[in-house]
Amino acid sequence: MPSSLALKVNGVVIEVNPGTTVAVAMMLAGKPCRTSVTGMPRGPLCGMGVCFECRVSINGTRHCRSCQILCESGMDVRTDE
């Protein structure tokens, strides 16, 4: 198992340990997961797939709950698509 894996958050490469969720990768990248309907930055709240605040696009699939998804090498994560 590699000691770290690389994925892209809004085009910027970041490295994480295996077993890290995408929500954590977003926090490590210093990015809010989404912008609310009135333009406020939002990050994870519940950490368990209930609140939907951490939703992002992953490899083109929108509205993925990033706290429930593990990072994979080469993943393309985008916010507010």
Partner 1 sequence: MNSTAYEKFDVLVVGAGPAGMAAAACAAACGMRVGLVDDNLNLGGQIWRTASALGAPPEAVKWIERVRAAQVKILCGLRVFDQPKAGLLFAEGAEGICELQYDKLILATGARERFLPFPGWTLPNVMGAGGLQALVKSGLPIHGKRVVVAGTGPLLLAVAAYLKNCGAEIPMICEQASWGRLLQFGLALPAQPGKILEALCLKKELVSVPFLTSSWPVAAHGDQVLERVTIARKGRSETIACDYLACGFHLVPNTELAPLLGCRINEVVQVDKFQRTTIPGIFCAGEPTGIGGVELALVEGQIAGLASSGREADARKLFPKREKARKFSSALERAFRLRPELRSLVKPDTLVCRCEDVSFAGLQSYTTWRAAKLHTRCGMGPCQGRVCGPATQFLFHWTPDSVRPPIFPTRVESMAAVSRRSEPQEQLISGGH
Q: What does the binding site for partner 1 look like in residue numbers (CB under 8 A)?
A: 16-17, 19-21, 23-24, 27-28, 32, 36-38, 40-53, 55, 63, 67-70
From CA 29, how far away is CA 21, in angstroms rounded? 13
The nearer residue to partner 1, 51 or 78, going by C-beta atoms, is 51
Min dist. Cβ of residue 73 to partner 1 (A): 15
Neighbour-count burial for 50-67, b at 16+ CB within 10 Å, e otherwise: eeebbbbbbeeeeebbbb
The nearer residue to partner 1, 12 or 41, going by C-beta atoms, is 41
Q: How far is CA 15 from CA 26, 52, 56, 78, in A?
A: 11, 24, 18, 16
Min dist. Cβ of residue 56 to partner 1 (A): 13
The nearer residue to partner 1, 42 or 78, going by C-beta atoms, is 42
